[in-house]
Amino acid sequence: MKKLGSSGLNKSFSFGRCNISNRYAKVFNLLRCNNYIGSRKLKEHSGPFSLNHLETGVVLSSQFLGAMKKKYFYINLAFDGTSSYGIVETITGPTLIGLIKEQFSEFNVHIFPSSRLDRGVSAKDLWLLLIVEKDEFEIDTITLKLKDISIIQLLNIIETNSESRVLNLVDSKIYHYYFQFGGNSQSKFITNFKENLDIDSMKNAAKLFEGCHNFKSFSIRTNKNANYTRNVIHSEIIRGYFNLFPICSLELKDVFCFKVQANGFLRGQVRMMVGALIKIGKKEINIRQLEQALQGDFKEKIGFKVPSQSLILEKSILKSSTRHNS
Protein backbone atom coordinates (compact mmCIF):
# COMPACT_ATOMS: atom_id res chain seq x y z
CA MET A 1 0.00 0.00 0.00
CA LYS A 2 1.28 3.43 -0.94
CA LYS A 3 0.32 6.49 1.11
CA LEU A 4 -0.14 9.66 -0.91
CA GLY A 5 -0.83 13.21 0.17
CA SER A 6 -1.92 16.11 -2.01
CA SER A 7 1.55 16.27 -3.58
CA GLY A 8 1.84 12.50 -4.00
CA LEU A 9 0.11 12.44 -7.39
CA ASN A 10 2.27 13.76 -10.17
CA LYS A 11 1.83 13.80 -13.92
CA SER A 12 3.47 10.41 -14.35
CA PHE A 13 0.74 8.66 -12.37
CA SER A 14 -2.04 7.44 -14.65
CA PHE A 15 -5.18 5.37 -14.28
CA GLY A 16 -5.65 5.04 -18.02
CA ARG A 17 -3.79 1.71 -18.34
CA CYS A 18 -5.06 0.10 -15.15
CA ASN A 19 -7.08 -3.07 -15.43
CA ILE A 20 -10.24 -2.17 -13.52
CA SER A 21 -12.34 -5.15 -12.46
CA ASN A 22 -16.13 -5.16 -12.61
CA ARG A 23 -16.18 -4.85 -8.84
CA TYR A 24 -14.46 -1.48 -8.92
CA ALA A 25 -15.50 -0.21 -12.36
CA LYS A 26 -18.50 1.65 -10.97
CA VAL A 27 -16.38 3.51 -8.42
CA PHE A 28 -13.73 4.27 -11.02
CA ASN A 29 -16.27 5.63 -13.54
CA LEU A 30 -17.97 7.70 -10.84
CA LEU A 31 -14.68 9.39 -9.99
CA ARG A 32 -13.76 9.87 -13.64
CA CYS A 33 -17.14 11.42 -14.52
CA ASN A 34 -16.80 13.85 -11.61
CA ASN A 35 -13.30 14.86 -12.73
CA TYR A 36 -11.56 13.43 -9.68
CA ILE A 37 -9.24 11.19 -11.69
CA GLY A 38 -6.41 12.91 -13.53
CA SER A 39 -7.73 16.33 -12.53
CA ARG A 40 -6.89 19.24 -10.33
CA LYS A 41 -9.54 18.14 -7.83
CA LEU A 42 -7.62 14.95 -7.08
CA LYS A 43 -4.21 16.63 -7.08
CA GLU A 44 -5.35 19.38 -4.74
CA HIS A 45 -7.19 17.09 -2.32
CA SER A 46 -5.82 18.28 1.03
CA GLY A 47 -6.36 15.17 3.13
CA PRO A 48 -4.31 11.95 2.97
CA PHE A 49 -5.82 8.97 1.19
CA SER A 50 -4.74 5.50 0.11
CA LEU A 51 -4.44 3.90 -3.30
CA ASN A 52 -4.54 0.14 -3.08
CA HIS A 53 -2.90 -1.34 -6.18
CA LEU A 54 -4.62 -4.69 -6.48
CA GLU A 55 -4.17 -7.36 -9.10
CA THR A 56 -7.65 -6.62 -10.44
CA GLY A 57 -7.76 -2.85 -10.26
CA VAL A 58 -7.56 0.27 -8.17
CA VAL A 59 -9.66 1.18 -5.13
CA LEU A 60 -9.77 4.57 -3.47
CA SER A 61 -10.08 4.57 0.29
CA SER A 62 -13.39 5.15 2.02
CA GLN A 63 -12.02 8.39 3.45
CA PHE A 64 -11.74 9.93 -0.02
CA LEU A 65 -15.07 8.52 -1.19
CA GLY A 66 -16.73 9.97 1.88
CA ALA A 67 -15.64 13.44 0.78
CA MET A 68 -17.74 13.05 -2.40
CA LYS A 69 -21.16 12.92 -0.72
CA LYS A 70 -23.77 15.03 -2.48
CA LYS A 71 -27.28 16.30 -1.84
CA TYR A 72 -29.99 16.43 -4.51
CA PHE A 73 -32.97 18.79 -4.75
CA TYR A 74 -35.80 19.29 -7.21
CA ILE A 75 -36.57 23.01 -7.50
CA ASN A 76 -39.87 24.22 -8.97
CA LEU A 77 -39.92 27.88 -9.99
CA ALA A 78 -41.36 30.53 -12.28
CA PHE A 79 -39.24 33.16 -13.95
CA ASP A 80 -39.46 36.15 -16.28
CA GLY A 81 -37.12 35.28 -19.12
CA THR A 82 -37.76 38.35 -21.29
CA SER A 83 -34.48 39.95 -20.18
CA SER A 84 -32.38 36.78 -20.00
CA TYR A 85 -30.37 34.77 -22.50
CA GLY A 86 -32.21 31.52 -21.85
CA ILE A 87 -31.53 28.82 -19.29
CA VAL A 88 -28.23 27.16 -20.16
CA GLU A 89 -25.04 29.12 -19.44
CA THR A 90 -23.54 31.13 -22.33
CA ILE A 91 -20.88 33.80 -22.71
CA THR A 92 -23.30 36.24 -24.33
CA GLY A 93 -25.29 37.34 -21.31
CA PRO A 94 -27.16 36.42 -18.11
CA THR A 95 -28.93 33.06 -18.07
CA LEU A 96 -31.11 31.43 -15.44
CA ILE A 97 -28.55 28.79 -14.48
CA GLY A 98 -25.76 31.37 -14.53
CA LEU A 99 -27.67 33.63 -12.11
CA ILE A 100 -28.38 30.74 -9.76
CA LYS A 101 -24.74 29.61 -9.78
CA GLU A 102 -23.64 33.13 -8.86
CA GLN A 103 -25.78 32.91 -5.72
CA PHE A 104 -24.20 29.55 -4.82
CA SER A 105 -20.65 30.63 -5.64
CA GLU A 106 -19.26 29.30 -2.34
CA PHE A 107 -20.57 25.81 -3.13
CA ASN A 108 -19.76 23.33 -5.86
CA VAL A 109 -23.16 22.92 -7.55
CA HIS A 110 -24.53 21.36 -10.74
CA ILE A 111 -27.90 22.38 -12.21
CA PHE A 112 -29.96 20.45 -14.76
CA PRO A 113 -33.23 21.88 -16.19
CA SER A 114 -36.23 19.81 -17.25
CA SER A 115 -36.67 22.16 -20.23
CA ARG A 116 -34.15 24.07 -22.28
CA LEU A 117 -35.79 27.41 -23.05
CA ASP A 118 -34.54 29.84 -25.67
CA ARG A 119 -33.49 33.39 -25.00
CA GLY A 120 -36.48 35.54 -24.01
CA VAL A 121 -38.81 32.65 -23.10
CA SER A 122 -40.44 32.68 -19.66
CA ALA A 123 -41.85 29.90 -17.49
CA LYS A 124 -44.64 29.55 -14.96
CA ASP A 125 -43.74 25.98 -14.01
CA LEU A 126 -40.11 24.95 -14.52
CA TRP A 127 -38.26 22.16 -12.68
CA LEU A 128 -34.53 22.05 -12.00
CA LEU A 129 -32.31 19.41 -10.42
CA LEU A 130 -29.77 21.01 -8.07
CA ILE A 131 -26.81 18.85 -7.02
CA VAL A 132 -24.69 20.20 -4.17
CA GLU A 133 -21.35 18.54 -3.42
CA LYS A 134 -21.75 18.96 0.30
CA ASP A 135 -23.15 16.53 2.84
CA GLU A 136 -24.56 19.16 5.20
CA PHE A 137 -26.81 21.41 3.13
CA GLU A 138 -30.36 22.45 4.00
CA ILE A 139 -33.40 23.49 1.96
CA ASP A 140 -33.51 26.83 3.79
CA THR A 141 -30.20 27.76 2.17
CA ILE A 142 -31.74 27.35 -1.29
CA THR A 143 -34.72 29.50 -0.31
CA LEU A 144 -32.50 32.32 0.97
CA LYS A 145 -30.25 32.24 -2.09
CA LEU A 146 -33.02 32.29 -4.68
CA LYS A 147 -34.89 35.15 -2.98
CA ASP A 148 -32.12 37.48 -4.14
CA ILE A 149 -32.79 36.79 -7.84
CA SER A 150 -35.50 39.25 -8.90
CA ILE A 151 -36.71 37.36 -11.99
CA ILE A 152 -37.39 34.14 -10.02
CA GLN A 153 -40.44 33.13 -8.01
CA LEU A 154 -39.73 29.99 -5.97
CA LEU A 155 -42.67 27.55 -5.90
CA ASN A 156 -41.40 24.35 -4.30
CA ILE A 157 -38.29 22.42 -3.21
CA ILE A 158 -38.14 18.64 -2.81
CA GLU A 159 -35.10 16.80 -1.54
CA THR A 160 -34.53 13.63 -3.54
CA ASN A 161 -31.96 10.84 -3.92
CA SER A 162 -28.91 10.30 -6.10
CA GLU A 163 -30.76 8.06 -8.54
CA SER A 164 -33.11 10.83 -9.66
CA ARG A 165 -33.05 12.24 -13.19
CA VAL A 166 -34.72 15.56 -13.92
CA LEU A 167 -35.54 14.58 -17.51
CA ASN A 168 -37.54 11.63 -16.15
CA LEU A 169 -39.52 13.90 -13.83
CA VAL A 170 -41.76 15.59 -16.43
CA ASP A 171 -44.21 13.63 -18.57
CA SER A 172 -45.35 16.45 -20.86
CA LYS A 173 -45.22 20.24 -21.20
CA ILE A 174 -47.79 22.88 -22.10
CA TYR A 175 -46.68 26.08 -23.83
CA HIS A 176 -48.69 29.26 -24.42
CA TYR A 177 -47.93 31.81 -27.12
CA TYR A 178 -49.81 35.12 -26.83
CA PHE A 179 -50.56 37.32 -29.85
CA GLN A 180 -52.95 39.87 -31.32
CA PHE A 181 -53.25 41.70 -34.60
CA GLY A 182 -54.19 45.11 -35.98
CA GLY A 183 -53.60 47.13 -32.82
CA ASN A 184 -50.95 48.09 -30.30
CA SER A 185 -49.47 45.48 -27.99
CA GLN A 186 -50.59 45.89 -24.38
CA SER A 187 -47.63 43.99 -22.91
CA LYS A 188 -44.12 42.76 -23.65
CA PHE A 189 -45.56 39.24 -23.41
CA ILE A 190 -47.85 39.80 -26.43
CA THR A 191 -46.69 39.87 -30.06
CA ASN A 192 -48.73 42.16 -32.28
CA PHE A 193 -49.05 41.42 -35.99
CA LYS A 194 -50.00 44.46 -38.03
CA GLU A 195 -51.80 42.57 -40.80
CA ASN A 196 -55.29 41.15 -40.39
CA LEU A 197 -55.31 37.41 -39.72
CA ASP A 198 -57.86 34.77 -40.68
CA ILE A 199 -58.28 33.34 -37.19
CA ASP A 200 -60.78 30.65 -38.24
CA SER A 201 -58.30 29.20 -40.74
CA MET A 202 -55.56 29.35 -38.11
CA LYS A 203 -57.75 27.48 -35.61
CA ASN A 204 -58.41 24.72 -38.13
CA ALA A 205 -54.70 24.50 -38.97
CA ALA A 206 -53.71 24.29 -35.29
CA LYS A 207 -55.68 21.06 -34.90
CA LEU A 208 -53.57 19.45 -37.66
CA PHE A 209 -50.55 19.50 -35.32
CA GLU A 210 -52.18 16.95 -33.02
CA GLY A 211 -50.84 13.42 -33.28
CA CYS A 212 -47.49 11.94 -34.26
CA HIS A 213 -45.84 13.89 -37.09
CA ASN A 214 -42.50 14.78 -38.67
CA PHE A 215 -41.62 18.29 -37.43
CA LYS A 216 -38.40 18.74 -39.39
CA SER A 217 -39.84 21.80 -41.15
CA PHE A 218 -40.54 23.31 -37.73
CA SER A 219 -37.07 22.89 -36.23
CA ILE A 220 -34.53 25.70 -36.07
CA ARG A 221 -31.63 23.28 -36.49
CA THR A 222 -31.60 20.20 -38.69
CA ASN A 223 -29.35 17.17 -38.78
CA LYS A 224 -29.66 14.29 -41.21
CA ASN A 225 -29.32 11.74 -38.38
CA ALA A 226 -31.79 13.42 -36.02
CA ASN A 227 -35.26 12.13 -35.16
CA TYR A 228 -37.85 14.81 -35.90
CA THR A 229 -40.92 12.78 -34.97
CA ARG A 230 -42.88 14.27 -32.08
CA ASN A 231 -46.27 13.46 -30.59
CA VAL A 232 -48.45 16.51 -29.99
CA ILE A 233 -51.16 15.73 -27.44
CA HIS A 234 -53.19 18.90 -27.81
CA SER A 235 -53.06 22.01 -30.02
CA GLU A 236 -55.51 24.89 -30.30
CA ILE A 237 -55.95 28.66 -30.60
CA ILE A 238 -58.19 30.26 -27.99
CA ARG A 239 -59.16 33.82 -27.17
CA GLY A 240 -59.62 35.20 -23.71
CA TYR A 241 -58.07 36.63 -20.54
CA PHE A 242 -54.88 35.13 -19.17
CA ASN A 243 -53.19 35.64 -15.81
CA LEU A 244 -49.38 35.52 -15.84
CA PHE A 245 -49.02 34.82 -12.12
CA PRO A 246 -46.60 33.71 -10.65
CA ILE A 247 -44.28 35.28 -13.26
CA CYS A 248 -45.92 38.64 -12.54
CA SER A 249 -49.32 40.02 -11.55
CA LEU A 250 -50.22 41.09 -15.10
CA GLU A 251 -53.47 39.94 -16.72
CA LEU A 252 -53.59 39.79 -20.50
CA LYS A 253 -56.99 40.98 -21.73
CA ASP A 254 -58.82 39.72 -24.81
CA VAL A 255 -55.83 38.23 -26.62
CA PHE A 256 -55.25 35.11 -28.69
CA CYS A 257 -53.28 32.20 -27.30
CA PHE A 258 -51.76 29.26 -29.15
CA LYS A 259 -51.80 26.41 -26.65
CA VAL A 260 -49.81 23.24 -27.35
CA GLN A 261 -48.99 20.17 -25.27
CA ALA A 262 -46.48 17.44 -26.11
CA ASN A 263 -44.12 14.96 -24.44
CA GLY A 264 -41.16 16.73 -26.03
CA PHE A 265 -40.30 19.52 -28.46
CA LEU A 266 -37.55 20.23 -30.95
CA ARG A 267 -35.38 23.33 -30.59
CA GLY A 268 -37.56 26.32 -31.50
CA GLN A 269 -40.46 24.09 -32.55
CA VAL A 270 -43.29 26.01 -30.87
CA ARG A 271 -42.19 29.37 -32.30
CA MET A 272 -41.91 27.85 -35.77
CA MET A 273 -45.38 26.31 -35.39
CA VAL A 274 -46.81 29.72 -34.53
CA GLY A 275 -44.98 31.20 -37.52
CA ALA A 276 -46.64 28.66 -39.82
CA LEU A 277 -50.05 29.49 -38.34
CA ILE A 278 -49.44 33.20 -38.91
CA LYS A 279 -48.65 32.42 -42.56
CA ILE A 280 -51.94 30.52 -42.75
CA GLY A 281 -53.70 33.57 -41.30
CA LYS A 282 -52.07 35.84 -43.88
CA LYS A 283 -52.93 33.33 -46.64
CA GLU A 284 -49.25 32.99 -47.56
CA ILE A 285 -49.52 29.19 -47.31
CA ASN A 286 -52.50 26.84 -47.31
CA ILE A 287 -53.69 23.86 -45.29
CA ARG A 288 -52.44 21.38 -47.89
CA GLN A 289 -48.88 22.72 -47.63
CA LEU A 290 -49.05 22.42 -43.86
CA GLU A 291 -50.16 18.80 -44.15
CA GLN A 292 -47.26 18.06 -46.51
CA ALA A 293 -44.81 19.64 -44.06
CA LEU A 294 -46.09 17.42 -41.23
CA GLN A 295 -45.46 14.36 -43.41
CA GLY A 296 -41.86 15.40 -43.96
CA ASP A 297 -42.48 16.19 -47.66
CA PHE A 298 -41.70 19.89 -47.36
CA LYS A 299 -37.98 20.50 -47.86
CA GLU A 300 -37.94 24.12 -46.69
CA LYS A 301 -38.95 25.70 -43.40
CA ILE A 302 -42.67 26.27 -43.66
CA GLY A 303 -42.87 28.67 -40.74
CA PHE A 304 -40.69 31.40 -39.27
CA LYS A 305 -39.44 32.21 -35.78
CA VAL A 306 -41.90 34.49 -34.06
CA PRO A 307 -40.55 36.68 -31.22
CA SER A 308 -39.64 34.63 -28.16
CA GLN A 309 -40.93 37.03 -25.46
CA SER A 310 -44.54 35.90 -26.01
CA LEU A 311 -43.74 32.21 -25.39
CA ILE A 312 -44.31 30.86 -21.89
CA LEU A 313 -43.87 27.39 -20.44
CA GLU A 314 -47.32 27.27 -18.87
CA LYS A 315 -47.18 23.92 -17.11
CA SER A 316 -44.90 20.93 -16.59
CA ILE A 317 -47.04 17.85 -16.09
CA LEU A 318 -45.24 15.42 -13.79
CA LYS A 319 -45.26 11.68 -14.21
CA SER A 320 -47.75 9.89 -12.00
CA SER A 321 -45.02 8.20 -9.94
CA THR A 322 -43.41 11.57 -9.23
CA ARG A 323 -46.72 13.15 -8.16
CA HIS A 324 -47.33 10.22 -5.82
CA ASN A 325 -43.89 10.43 -4.23
CA SER A 326 -43.99 14.20 -3.77
Instruction: Provide Rg for the chain, Cα atoms.
Output: 25
Beta-carbon contacts of 101 under 8 Å, excluding residues fewer than 6 positions away, are: 89, 109, 111
Tens digit of pLDDT for each residue in 222-236?
787 889 999 999 999
Q: Which CATH class is domain 170-320?
A: alpha beta
Where the chain has pLDDT below 50, the residues are: 1-67, 324
What's the confidence (pLDDT) of residue 8? 38
Tens digit of pLDDT for each residue in 147-162?
999 999 999 999 988 6
Using a cut of 0.85, tell me whether the model's pTM lies above it: no
Long-range contact list for 20-24, CB < 8 A, 24+ apart?
Answer: 20/56, 20/57, 20/58, 21/56, 21/57, 23/56, 23/57, 24/56, 24/57, 24/58, 24/59
- What CA–CA distance (Å, rounded) separates 78 from 114? 13
Q: Is there a contact between 82 and 148 (Cβ–Cβ < 8 Å)?
A: no
Q: Could you give the percent of the chain with pLDDT greater than 70?
A: 75
What's the confidence (pLDDT) of residue 322? 55
What's the confidence (pLDDT) of residue 81? 94
**Domains in the chain: boundaries:** 2-66, 71-168, 170-320
Q: Which CATH class is domain 71-168?
A: alpha beta
Tens digit of pLDDT for each residue in 62-76?
344 444 588 999 999
CATH topology identical between 71-168 and 170-320? yes
The count of other CB atoms within 10 Å of the CB of residue 135 is 11
